[in-house]
Structure 1
Amino acid sequence: MAPHADLIILGGSVVTVDDARPEAEALAVRGGRIAAVGDEADIRALAGPGTEIVDLAGGCLLPGFVEAHSHPISLALSQDGPVRDIRPATVPDADAVLAAIRRAVADAEAADDGTGAYLYGWDGLLQKGLEEPTRDWLDSLSPARPLVILTNSGHAAYANTAALAAAGITRDTPDPAGGHFARDDAGEPTGKAYEGAAIGMLAGPVLKRMADIAGPTLKATLAGLNRVGITTVSDMAFHAARRPFLDALAAGGELTARLRLYEVSDARLASEVPLANGDDMVRQVGIKTWVDGSPWNGNIATSFPYLDTHATRAVLGLPCDHRGGTNYDKDAYRAIAAAYFAQGWQLACHAQGDISIDLVLDVWEELLAAADPDDGRARRLRLEHCGAMTPAQYTRAGRLGITCSLFAAHIRYWGEVLVDDLFGAPAETWVAARSAVDAGVRISLHNDSPVTPADPLGNIATAVTRRTRAGRVLAPEQHLTVDEALRAQTLDAAWQLHADDIIGSLTPGKYADLVILSEDPRRVAPEDIAEIEIRATYLEGRRV
């Protein structure tokens, strides 16, 4: 006779996301894994004296949500310690943003430790009333101590003169690979830096201080992800120096979500981490590169120009008829991609503009053509965000076996901004999820937290309705069905992370990573999906 179940869940919809049995009445857990899925009577027969019985009370059981593109360590470090959080999700009002900056400067002056003031989350497109910071304005706020403000997208930062001096950045400082410093007509740095390589040079002093708080704050961050139903999360900007504290947390049983790590590509063009590393809780699976930046900072490469509006001129500081560029030319990106591909890694590349996406597809098609076909498809090469990706590009990606992680929250938070302030008609079809699925591309949905708060149900609702927070609907023909959106937040997201063999569906043998909802997302109005209550989240059958 089989051992009794540790946990049985019944009394509502059990949505498995498993084609072999899409729906069931009950589920049993034993030893942290799914023991059985089936009819209620059959599952009840597995109960014993010590079995916990959970009644869904008409609710819904799903696989735990998978956040395939996120930055949980960066989110943790923005929540506490030396970096002040001024993201729109936290500080939506422009006056409150300015007050927070002044407080940070005053605190830096009082501390008098030479570090200065560092803030993260500036977004003048959402925090209405803010205009692009200038070096002179930042100097007026903090004449003597460094002041650095990182944008909400994470793709640009603004620094005062003291911060430039502390970092040793002058007119003679070369731009780092993959990033650059804006300069005036005389060649002097304006204080604006683009992309992580350049931003990291400005933020060096504070980054050293942040290392001490990483462990405790990460646990709190993962708890927040659990509260919205997430049981697995990627870190898409991982640095190997952070691995020891992650492994220590995992060894102590202190992680409440699985982590899949993507190491940032760098000048070494090699990872010190072996392909076979970690375990089912923590594992590095790929390499991340940024070929362009953010629409909110004017540095994505598109075939169409930015509009000439107050937002582009005053908030972003862009000239008329501006088109962004790529962080690498094709030869430079080819060198990066080929080196890591040869080492066996999955490649993940941030690409928003259609010009950038063409560059990546060109390089990847070359790599895949020279590789064993089975090996190439097994890598699951990932395009990230894909804002302006066209139907033809999705068709090409589908043919090559490339997968895409889509930032559906762009529509929810910035839908009106994209169309009215930045790009006009070309932005109507931003995040063209239907074109992706119809082209045979397996997709995930993500929030890119901390850029937007982790919200799987909000992503699903947005992908199905394409509705902004103000109620506007963009290109409704690009919507997903609820079942497609659920897969993109569970099984297909797990597949992108090379974890679909252990999570992503309610299949016997997989880990019992589960989320209980108050209602079945398939049986409510699409616009109400985001309001469904998360009642409980389980990792390996343990409520977290």
Structure 2
Amino acid sequence: MGAHTILQAALVITMNPTQPRAEAVVVDAETGTLAAVGSLSQCRAYAPDAPVTDLGSAVLMPGFIQAHDHPVPAAVLCEQPAQWIAPFVGFPTWADVEVLFDRLRRQTPTGHPLLFNGLDRLLLSIPMPDRASLDKYFPDHPVLIFDITGHALYFNSRATALFGWTNATPPPDTPDARWSRRPDGSSGGVGYETQATLMALGAFLPGVVPSPLTNLGAWYSTLARNGFTAVGDLGFISKLRAPMEQLAALPGCPVRYSLYQTTYDPGADAGLDFGELSGMIRRVGYKIWMDGSPSIGTAAISVPYLDSARARIADVPVGTAPGLSVLNYTPDQFLSLIGQFVDKDLQIATHINGDAGIDVVLDGYQQALAAHGLTGTDHRWRLEHFSTPSRQQCARAGELGITASMSPFQSLYWGDLYDGVIFEPSYGARWQPYRDAYDGGVRPTFHNDGYLSPPLPWLNIQNAVTRRSASGAVHGPEQALSLHEALEAHTTNAAWQQKRDHEIGSIEVGKLADLVALNTDPYTVDPARLQETMQVLGTWLSGRRVDLDGFMESVKEVAHRFDQALVGGVRPHQC
């Protein structure tokens, strides 16, 4: 028997239905796994010579899992010196944003680029920014602003020069990069979808973010401080391998990393073997984007946008239902794309918000599974966001063995608008229908989508249990989950969804000792006050308490070797 340590807590919530509660765990220090779980006396009997660390009144749980994230964009857009201007992080009105614009315009040297993230046209009730309006705010600085949805970006004339465009003329449109244009063919100052985002970010990074790897370490630290011990990257490209692998190899790295490679990445069909690091970094699937966002009218939804003042000023297509017109791929193209990357050991994950598009994705999945002999297998293909499915679509997904990662931040921050202002209440009130998804057998998980919303697991859980928006209004109460079901979304379900349930997600003998210490038992807390009550006291990875200061020192020591790779990793890719 190797070296062991014992962690004792006021309560251990295991998320293991066969042993839901305990008071201590034994950690095998050599393997980082749990050797025993039970009472303190049982753990001492198993390892009589092991030292005991008494955590006092703390409550231990399995570390939370962020099922869907974008760590690299989040690192450079949500950490300084970029400016995060979302309403829920300190900019509740357009006037607040304009004050920041004015200060930065005066303080920033002429010609120096400025990068903003999180502009929310719906909540701020503003028209779409464009090249002309941004030229008025910033005549002397290249400016790039990311929409809160992650599916649109806004920029001024000086930015087009930074992009390298001749006469401010954008390249031809593709399914993953579309551009607004003036009558003369030059840019209108708006871009849409992922490749547009990556191109613009790649152009701005060198002049804005001194050390992208340091920012990435800071994002990992933010995840850890909020209780996460594992994260899924739903936008990996092969040029990011070196820096992501280096982070995973650093002593004290606080999170495990599961990657889903984009299908447009030129290196997507190459093997990815991380060897001895596979416990910390591994590829588990591929990612496809099928539609955009409901907040800018690019989600494939079946109902029309209401003709409201808020909808009109935000430039969504009032009176019309986008339907399949906004899909990035036709059904045949989608099926062909799946066929290029299908693998019995890897997942397919598809971004799809709207119910009309969900039908197309489910049809494609069903045909692809049958064509490749995977029907009825443990494939765990994924639906990302899954914002507006019907109860029947949830049941169909479950029958096909498909899982969904849902977005509580949508119903939390925009629920008041979706319910009756932007859409009919019968449609908008059930936004993010957790109960239908859970009952349908899709084993839903929760996420914050990287740079779209702060990674706050307790706020996600609170919304799922109460169905309360940020204003306190309740929308679709019949779609609420129990606290235990909501906790599963960030623990056992998320581990299963990433095909890591044999390693993480619950506190069980043989699994990795990835743990989070909390200030109190969440089952004793008013569900409406979970976010304000629950505190993270620390996390453990493989039984070792995470030292974020030490981790960041390690990051800074190697950052100079990998910063350029991160910059290159967000440049456009030409097939």
| TM-score, normalization by structure 2 | 0.87
What's the CA shift for 1:54?
Answer: 2.0
* In the alignment, structure 1 residue 536 sits paired with structure 2 residue 538: yes
> Which residue identity lines up with residue 537 of structure 2 in the other structure?
R
* 2:384 aligned counterpart, secondary structure: strand
CA contact (8 A) 1:307 1:423 kept: yes
The answer as to 2:226 corresponding to 1:224 is: no
Q: Which moved more, 1:45-54 or 1:95-104?
A: 45-54
What residue in structure 1 maps to residue 98 of structure 2? 98
Two-structure CA RMSD over aligned residues (Å): 2.5
1:542 partner letter: R
Are 1:120 and 2:117 an aligned pair? yes
CA gap of 1:143–1:367, structure 2 versus 1, over 3 A, is: same
**1:158 counterpart letter in structure 2:** Y
Aligned partner of residue 501 in structure 2, secondary structure: coil
Task: Please name the residue that 1:430 is paired with.
Answer: 431
Identify the match of residue 14 of structure 2 among 16, 27, 30.
16
* Cα deviation, residue 217, structure 1: 1.6
The residue correspondences of 1:124-523 to structure 2 (distance < 5 A) are: 124-126=121-123, 128=124, 130-167=126-163, 168=165, 173-183=171-181, 189-208=187-206, 213-266=211-264, 268=266, 270-274=268-272, 278-316=277-315, 318-321=317-320, 323=322, 325-342=326-343, 345-373=346-374, 377-425=377-425, 426-523=427-524
Is the CA contact (8 Å cut-off) linking 1:148 and 1:157 kept in structure 2?
Answer: yes
The one-letter amino acid of 1:412's match is L
Q: What is the rounded CA distance, in whole Å, between the counterparts of 1:49 and 1:19 in structure 2?
A: 29
Deviations 1:129-161 (A, max 9, x none): 543213221121233543221112211011223
Q: Which letter maps to 1:132?
A: M
**CA deviations over 1:355-406 (Å, ceiling 9, x no partner):** 11111111111111122337x6333111001111111111110110000001
- 1:404 touches 1:441 (CA, 8 Å); kept in 2? yes
Task: After superposition, give the CA deviation of every residue in 1:176-204 in whole Å (9 maximum; x if it has no partner).
Answer: 23231134567654221111112333344
1:232 deviates by 0.4
Partner-residue secondary structure (3-state), 1:125: helix
CA pair 105-235 structure 1, distance change in 2 beyond 3 A:
farther
- Aligned equivalents of 1:447, 1:185: Cα separation in 2: 38
Deviation for aligned residue 1:287: 1.2
Q: Name the structure 2 match of 1:42.
A: 42
Q: Structure 1 509/91 Cα, relative in aligned 2: closer, same or farther at 3 Å? A: same
| Secondary structure at 1:401 match in 2 | coil
Can you give the 5+ residue segments of structure 1 that lack an aligned partner in the other structure?
none
- Rate the CA distance shift 1:142–1:150 in 2: closer, same or farther, 3 A: same
Q: Which residue of 2 aligns with 1:75?
A: 74
Pair 225,342 (structure 1): closer, same or farther in 2 beyond 3 Å: closer
- Checking the alignment, whether the CA contact within 8 Å between 2:261 and 2:268 is kept in structure 1 is no
- Kindly indicate whether the alpha-carbon contact (under 8 Å) linking 2:114 and 2:208 is maintained by their aligned counterparts in 1: no
Give 5+ residue unaligned stretches, structure 2: 547-575
Distance 1:344 1:47 in 2: 38
Distance 1:193 1:363, change over 3 A: same
Aligned-partner SS, 1:112: coil
Query: What residue in structure 2 maps to residue 54 of structure 1?
Result: 54
In structure 1, C-alpha distance between the alignment counterparts of 2:480 and 2:79, rounded to whole Å: 38
Q: Is the 8 A contact 1:514 1:538 kept in 2?
A: yes
| 2:157 and 2:189 in contact (8 A); partners too | yes
Residues 357, 317 of structure 1: alpha-carbon distance in 2 compared, 3 angstrom cutoff: closer
Amino acid at match of 1:122: L
Q: Return the alpha-carbon distance in structure 1 between the equivalents of residues 481 and 118 of structure 2.
A: 30
Q: Is the 8 A contact 2:64 2:229 kept in 1?
A: yes
CA distance in 1, matches of 2:170, 2:6: 64
1:122, distance to aligned residue in structure 2 (A): 0.7
TM-score (norm 1): 0.92
Q: Shift of residue 460 of structure 1? A: 1.4
- Give, in whole Å, the separation in 1 of the partners of 2:51 and 2:281: 29
Distance (Å, rounded) in 2 between the aligned partners of 1:247 and 1:192? 34
Q: Is the 8 A contact 2:170 2:187 kept in 1?
A: no
Structure 2 residue matching 1:420: 3-state secondary structure: coil
Are 2:407 and 2:446, in contact at CA under 8 Å, matched by a contact in 1?
A: yes
Query: Which amino acid letter does the alignment assign opposite residue 16 of structure 1?
Result: T
**C-alpha distance in 2, partners of 1:210/1:265?**
28
Equivalent AA in structure 1 for residue 127 of structure 2: E
* Partner Cα distance (1:210, 1:244) in 2: 22
User: Structure 2: which amino acid aligns with 1:314?
Assistant: I
> How far apart, in 2, do the equivalents of 1:343 and 1:156 lie?
34
Q: Could you tell me the percent identity over the aligned residues?
A: 34
Report the secondary structure of 2:417's partner residue. Answer: helix
Task: Name the CA shift for 1:222/1:166 in 2 (closer, same or farther; >3 Å).
Answer: closer
Larger mean CA deviation between 137-146 and 356-365 belongs to 137-146
Contact 1:231 1:513 in 2 (8 A): yes
1:15-57: CA deviation from partner (whole Å, max 9, x where unpaired): 2111222222322212122111112321233455661422342
- Distance change in 2, residues 1:105/1:534 (3 Å): same
Would you identify which runs of 4 or more consecutive aligned residues in structure 1 move more than 6 Å?
A: none
**2:344 touches 2:379 (CA, 8 Å); kept in 1?**
no
SS of aligned partner of 2:485: helix
| Structure 1 residue 244: Cα displacement | 0.6
Q: CA shift at 1:339, angstroms?
A: 0.6
Residues 6, 52 of structure 2: 8 Å contact kept? yes
